[in-house]
Structure 1
Amino acid sequence: MAGSDKRHASRGTGDNSCTENPTVELGPQRQEDDFKEGGYGWVVVFAVFMLNAHTWGLNSSYAVFLAHYLRTGVFGDSQLGYAFVGGLSISISLLVAPLATVLMGWGRCGTRLTIFIGAVFETIAFVGSSFATELWHILLSQGLSFGVGLGMCFVPSAAVPPQWFVKRRSFASAITASGSGFGGLCYSLATNAMISRVGLPWTFRILAIVCFVVNSAASYFIRDRNKAIGSVHVAFDWRLFKRLPFLLFQAWAFLSLIAYVILVYSIVDYCQSVGLSASQASLAAALFNRIGRPLIGLSSDAVGRLNIANICTLFCGLICMFFWTFAAKGLAACMVFAVLSGSVAGVIWATAAPLCAEIVGIAVIPSALSVTWLVLFLPATFAEASAVALRRPGPGAMYIGAFVFGWALRAWKVGELGEAQLTKEQRELATRDDGVVASLEHGPQAANQKPTSAERRRAVFRGLWAIVRV
């Protein structure tokens, strides 16, 4: 395992990491034979699950806060300003990704301490919000400070579960991602109840206490395998942009996040605008994005990560375009829409790390995700503000656009596997392992028989229509 991991690490840091056809050898012994997955990894999965529940889950509850702000005008009547708070929390969490990546790779800090720092910032955010009297107070606390804490918790923890699994990597990542759904389910209902019973300030203080206790405990139990696999922690590895598949992945993630942010923050206000009460709207938010992620992980491991990511993206786009726009009127329709769209809307969070493994390899995941989160800063910042300003349903078109880039990425992967002329067994290993294929120099083709550019384009074109597990 150590030798294999060193090969992965060298691929991530060398010049070959950014070539059009990155290749590493498939050793005589499979990676899963050397590394017995699971074990303490399941403890890590549970810890990251709880961490996501009390970071992204709490962040999802901002839909309830947003509806309360818009309805009461407690901090003024600037709808655009309120919308920026939610977008700011996500965008800042992505903007601090390079800093979090550097800290987790620094020997004196590491993964655990970086996550604990994030827990402290989140606690400060809720405590500060409890004393807020103006909109800019909320922007600094619930937006900026919470975003820093969210990023410090999320960025280090996202790369850890895939390190403990091979066969069940997508399933493990999906379980951890479903923590945000669990937290959102709990806090979308609890936040609305607490605001009506104890008031807004004490709601923030209760959330601060719970957040600090749970996230601090989770940080203690998270254990990474960075040294064992030779993880590469580069804050911004610009060489990754030399690779077309990485650019396609960024485009898919960019458009997916725009749509997701609009959905997750607008659903409560939308439900109230069609006649639902505040409690009914919070129930719709609780049902949104809560049940689908483990299923996404299971099906990804069985059917293929790129296949499931694209199917979910397309399905959510169609639901948004036809259901939200024309049919979602009334309690039953809103609940159905919340369940259907929510089951697949957060596909980016359930599949981002496994897809990075398909593209760059397991050792380079921290660096690749750091770049990805930084690229997603702009859509996270302006998506909801744009939606509030335009007052038009737009996530459907964004998901459809994301599907186009995602399907192109899938075609590239199918073409790469076809070029290597793998056996059926090798193809199954390549699509389940670190996303690598046999080197052309070591595979069935000789070095002087590498495919030409025209042959490569034909292989990718065939990949657009091929029905394969990838």
Structure 2
Amino acid sequence: MAEGIVASAQDQSKEDASRPSIQSPAPPPDGGYGWSYSVYLAYYLSHDIFPDGRSIDFAFIGGFNFAFALLVAPFATLLMRLFGVRAPMFIGVVLLPSGFIGASFATRIWHLYLSQGVCIGLAVGLIYIPATAVIPQWFLKKRSLANGICSAGSGIGGLIVCFATEGMLRSLGLVWALRITAVVVFFVNLVATLLIRSRNEEIKPDLRMFNFHLLSDYHVQLLLSWSFVMMFGYITLMFSLSDYALAIGRSGSDSATVAAILNLGAACGRPLIGYTSDRYGRVEVAGILTFVCGILVFVLWMPATLFSVLLVFAFISGGILGIFWAAIGPLAADIVGLKELPAFLSIAWLSVVLPTAFAEVIALELRRPEFGKRSYLYAQTFAGLSYIAASLILLELWRSRRATAKRLESDSESS
């Protein structure tokens, strides 16, 4: 984080310096490479580069980006506790370009699993989990807004990366697209790691890896259930949208444009989400946006056989489909408290490993090429229902918390 940004946030943090800061909600894959892999996925599905590779393999590779980034979270937390914020980040700075370079030499599908799947996934987790833990340390009242602004950066970066990736794939081919990306991500992440500043010495956050007694709380169970169910819709939507453009007869360039517009929506929408969450309530905003995203799948994405309609859907959904990453930390802080938050987040990351690993696999298995432009009909239904079901879980969380608050208020008045 640049010094100027840090300095501008200090006045905000001084309002309550005695309180411990929450850990950041934003785990690694929300943006950046997570967005750009949708371009690679569409490319792999439309080119016979790996004869031993099937559609399900490429879906698993994308899922591994998320799954291993989340699986490494406890280890990243341990490294932060032992050696500071930068230690795991420097490891990730080396691993990330190594994964891209390794993928450029891949000749078999299992090479791609190890390089573009496991290696890059681990690297993303080691870089972004420690980095995003710094953002809330410099803000208090407008913490969600600050997180939304920073999350918008992943949208802007993804916007650039998607166009650049598609351009390199078209003009230079897969090998050099991967190698050039390796060089870029190495230098960008190295500079960012050198500039980052944390307040861990002052705050002394609780960096325990786990605290499983939290699972006995009903509100915790609901929050984890929302995370688990919604992630099926999120991964399906994010990874499938680019290939859907090809399914309705558009070019590879148009496919990359869809992914880029998705990023543009994220860049525009996330600061607004942060502002409204601070103002109107985190459970309320997260629940409404989860429901809206599910409805948009049915009313915009499902009938979208025109490219213009698909772009509208990509822009609107881009701002809200990743509500999990923006909301999980603030929601968890409200439910378990600041002291227990790091341990809860480690559980939360592990709780979504399975859906992140298998959601796109399920989506591609549901795909029906013989349906032509409607080939993603079942996958779209799967994504929409996932979001709607998840929103109902947050509705129950909202109801239960209100009932608990009223009961405590009544007990206080009677005493």
Name the TM-score, length of structure 1 as normaliser.
0.77
Verify the 8 A CA contact 1:275 1:330 in the aligned structure 2: no
Secondary structure of 2:305's counterpart equals coil
Q: Which of residues 409, 421, 424 is equivalent to 2:409?
A: 421
**Residue in 2 that maps onto 1:307:** 284
Find 2:211's aligned residue among 222, 237, 244. 237
Q: CA deviation at 1:155?
A: 2.0
Residue 420 of structure 1 deviates from its aligned partner by 4.1
Deviations 1:46-65 (A, max 9, x none): xx99x979x83122111111
Residue 404 (structure 1) aligned to one of 357, 378, 392:
392
Call closer, same or farther: CA 1:226–1:247 in 2, change over 3 Å.
farther
Partner secondary structure for residue 232 of structure 1: coil
Alignment of 1:12-23 (within 5 A): none
Task: State whether structure 2 residue 162 is matched by structure 1 residue 167.
Answer: no
Aligned match of 2:123: 149
SS at match of 1:246: helix
The letter of the residue matching 2:409 is Q
The alpha-carbon deviation at position 321 of structure 1 amounts to 2.3
Equivalent position to 2:64, from 71, 76, 88:
88
**Runs of at least 5 residues in structure 2 that lack an aligned partner in the other structure:** 1-12, 368-377
Match of 2:361 in 1: 385
The answer for the alignment partner of 1:112 in structure 2 is 86
Q: C-alpha deviations, 1:105-136, integer Å up to 9, x for none? A: 11xx2111111211211111011111111211
C-alpha separation between the residues in 1 aligned to 2:328 and 2:391?
Answer: 14
Larger Cα Rg: Structure 1 or Structure 2? 1
1:366 partner amino acid = P
Residue 34 (1) aligns with residue 16 (2): yes
Q: Could you tell me which residue of structure 1 aligns to residue 33 of structure 2?
A: 58
The correspondence of residues 256-295 of structure 1 with structure 2, limited to 5 A, is 256-289=230-263, 290=266, 291-295=268-272
The separation in 2 between residues aligned to 1:374 and 1:413, in whole angstroms, is 24
Per-residue Cα deviation, 1:49-84 (whole angstroms, up to 9, x for no partner) = 9x979x831221111111111111211251111111
Report the CA distance between 1:32 and its aligned residue. 6.8
Contact 2:162–2:257 under 8 Å retained in 1: yes
Shift of 1:145: 0.1
Please state whether the residue corresponding to 1:362 is helix, strand or coil: coil
Runs of 4+ in structure 1 off by over 6 angstroms are: none
Which residue of 2 is the match for residue 333 of structure 1?
309
What is the total number of aligned residue pairs between the two structures?
Answer: 385
Give the Cα separation in 1 of the matches to 2:339 and 2:152.
24
One-letter code aligned to 1:134 = R
Residue of structure 2 in register with 1:466 after alignment: none
Determine the C-alpha separation between the residues in 1 that align with 2:317 and 2:31: 18
Could you say what the CA RMSD is over the residues aligned between the two structures, in angstroms? 2.5
- The answer to whether the Cα contact below 8 Å between 2:32 and 2:154 also exists between their aligned partners in 1 is yes
- SS state of the match for residue 298, structure 1? helix
| Fraction of identical pairs, as percent | 38
Q: Which moved more, 1:141-150 or 1:346-355?
A: 346-355
* Match status 1:318 vs 2:295: yes
Counterpart check, 1:223 vs 2:205? no
| 1:347-386 correspondence runs (5 A) | 347-386=323-362
Q: Which runs of 5+ in 1 are unaligned?
A: 1-30, 423-439, 450-470
SS in 2 for 1:34: coil
**Which residues in structure 2 correspond to 1:186-225 (within 5 Å)?**
186-225=160-199
Cα deviations across residues 444-465 of structure 1 (Å, max 9, x unaligned)?
Answer: 547xx4xxxxxxxxxxxxxxxx
Q: Deviations over 1:277-330 (max 9, x none)?
A: 1111211111114221111101111111111111110000001123222x2111
Measured in 2, the distance between the counterparts of 1:194 and 1:36 equals 50
CA contact (8 A) 1:112 1:223 kept: no
CA contact (8 A) 1:313 1:345 kept: yes
- State the one-letter code of the partner of 1:340: I
